Structure 1
Amino acid sequence: MGTEGATRQAATTPAVRTAVVWEALREALAERAAATGHDRLGIVDAGGGTGGFAVPLAELGHAVTVVDPSPDSLAALERRAAEAGVAVKGIQGDAADLRDLLEPGCADLVLCHSVLEYVEDPASALAAVAGVLMPGGLISVLAANPVATAIHRSLTGHFDEARQALTDPSGRWGEHDPTPRRFSGEALAALLTAAGFTPRELRGVRIFADLVPGRLLDGEPGAARALVALEQAAAAHPVLRDIATQLHLLAHR
């Protein structure tokens, strides 16, 4: 674990880390189901890996397809889905290849979580997403935030790297930064708009969770639940969301 990750421990349990995203997805899925008259929606998880989102969505009764370049991740996805007793289709490929891998207009919702940071061309990846979405369909984008990276680098004493993350056009803290690019909320919205999407409200994800020491949650009944409630309350705060580790944006086609 790197020095940045060492400062962010047990508080970032999966439930805390993803609570804000799940809240937005539940609302979006209910809205889409009401608009289409169908409870079973078509969902594509681009870069969905081992199924952290895909399997729970399948458990909700949706038809879920994961497209991921890693065969190992897809094998883990298959095992995870089998253990949960649900079917999730796995396809090996990149986000930019969605139009070649899937039928046009097959999806009500496409997840694009922690993908735009790593693809060769984010604009091409979003164009591919648009190609597989039905009219009125939704994209869920989750991306790393350079402001949070600057905060985390400074907390570990890497002050020059923190400054670099704020000034670098790609939001990187240096040549050894494993993340190729990060996005501000404005940059995400502009990218989605250019791809023909209409962005909705920007939310911050992991505003406090990555700063709270895990010991504060250990042995405290209800502490994790209270932290989730705090994250949800702060997600749309006009100041706090801008320091979140990740930014979440829903947009419709």
Structure 2
Amino acid sequence: MARRLDEQIAARYPVGQRLRILDVGMGRGAQALRLARAGHEITALESDPALLRRVQEALATEPAGIRERFRLVQGEFRETGVHFLPGSFDVVLCHGVLTTSEEPDALLAGLARMLAPGGLLSLLVRNAGALAMGPGLAGDWTGALTTLDAPAATDREGRPVRADRLDALTSTLAGIAAPLHAWYGVQVFTPWGPDSGLPAAEELERLLAAEDRAGRTDPYRGIAAMLHLCGARAA
């Protein structure tokens, strides 16, 4: 499903355009590597030395052309202004980073300054408007009621993490001169079904097609587990 994010981002640009992309909090680097293989110039900012080493090892197995257009930078996500000049990137990815951010508005404002005219800020966040879906569909009525009364999210270890609402982020994006251009639901169906692993290839294609269409269609996209928001700087 991560490839759907790539497609949603690329849809703003002419086919074949080479983009300068900043990936803030690249994690294991899967998306950054995929975009580099597609011909884009990648700068990845990551604070975790272990993750940086892991991506460096993966890069070592790639062709020279991909290594040459992939730059790794160790640093805090809030310090983009220390490492890069304003307006340096066509696309800034901030996928999953807000879940652990204590000052999301300040972080997003810093990322928006990195955008060139016409640039795109891509956010992937937990959907605070759908947190009760999981416990509710599992028959955990206490959990559903608790979440509805005091929305909160937890990670796999049960630790609290941030979740965000579409209207609040829409307002934030407008305030940092990167107003909402498009938004999508991510994982509309898959989080709520039985965890039985990936289906066979033919069934997987149908699943991805259903997820893609639902993620673009109201009211389904509003109950997705995650939201993908694209804010666009004026050209």
Structure 1 length-normalised TM: 0.82
The equivalent of 1:98 in structure 2 is 80
Give 1:1-253 correspondences, 5 Å limit.
Answer: 17-30=1-14, 39-85=17-63, 86-87=66-67, 88-168=70-150, 171-173=151-153, 177-213=158-194, 215=196, 218=199, 220-253=200-233
Deviations 1:208-251 (A, max 9, x none): 12233354854x45000111111111112111111111000111
Deviation, structure 1 residue 56: 0.7
**Would you say the 8 A contact 2:153–2:162 is kept in 1?**
no
Aligned length: 228
Q: Which stretch shifts more, 142-151 or 208-217?
A: 208-217
Helix, strand or coil: the match of 1:116?
Answer: helix
**Would you say the 8 A contact 2:153–2:163 is kept in 1?**
no
Deviation, structure 1 residue 163: 2.6
Deviations 1:162-220 (A, max 9, x none): 2333333xx3157x8524321122122112112221102221001112233354854x4
**Would you say the 8 A contact 1:205–1:248 is kept in 2?**
yes
- Once residues 174 and 142 of structure 2 are traced to their aligned partners in structure 1, the CA distance between those partners, rounded to angstroms, is 33
More contact order relative to length (CA 8 Å, sep ≥ 6): 1
**Would you say the 8 A contact 2:128–2:152 is kept in 1?**
yes
Q: Which runs of 5+ in 1 are unaligned?
A: 1-16, 34-38
**Would you say the 8 A contact 2:133–2:192 is kept in 1?**
no
Counterpart AA for 2:225: T
- Once residues 231 and 173 of structure 1 are traced to their aligned partners in structure 2, the CA distance between those partners, rounded to angstroms, is 22
Q: Which runs of 5+ in 2 are unaligned?
A: none
Percent identity for Structure 1 against Structure 2: 30
- Once residues 47 and 67 of structure 1 are traced to their aligned partners in structure 2, the CA distance between those partners, rounded to angstroms, is 6
**Would you say the 8 A contact 1:147–1:165 is kept in 2?**
no
